[in-house]
Amino acid sequence: MYEQPNADRPDGPGEPGEFARRAAERNSGLVRELIDLILTNKKWWLIPVIVALLLIGVIVLLGTTAAAPFIYPLF
């Protein structure tokens, strides 16, 4: 069945709505999105997970360079 347009809807067919406005915005980036997620949704448990993943990444990067002999004694 055909649905009649809603008269109290603020954005009509020719006017940009929320979706169009957000699509026109500049992307804020992955790090900013992650920080916004943590702050707005109060996902404080993500902070230690992210820090641990970053530390593992640094150790892997150091393990593939000339610093490898100095990293091995840590394990």
For 9-21, write each residue's pLDDT tens digit.
555 555 667 888 8
> Would residue 69 count as lying in a domain?
yes
> Would residue 14 count as lying in a domain?
no
Q: Is the pTM of this model over 0.75?
A: no
> Would residue 9 count as lying in a domain?
no
> Would residue 21 count as lying in a domain?
no
Burial class (CB in 10 A: 0-12, 13-18, 19+), 52: exposed
**Cβ atoms within 10 A of the Cβ of 59, count?**
14
> Would residue 15 count as lying in a domain?
no
> Would residue 19 count as lying in a domain?
no
| Domain residue limits at 57 | 28-74
Between 6-10, 19-23, 31-35, the lowest mean confidence (pLDDT) is in 6-10
How distant is the alpha carbon of residue 66 from its chain centre? 33
CB 34 within 8 A of CB 50: yes
**For residue 52, pLDDT beyond 90:** yes
Q: How many domains does the chain have?
A: 1
For residues 63 and 67, give the distance between their C-alpha atoms in angstroms, rounded to a whole number: 6
Mean pLDDT, the chain, whole residue set = 78
> Would residue 5 count as lying in a domain?
no
pLDDT band of residue 8 (cuts 50, 70, 90) is low
Q: Is 11 helix (H, G, I), strand (E, B) or coil?
A: coil
> Would residue 35 count as lying in a domain?
yes
**For residue 43, pLDDT beyond 80:** yes
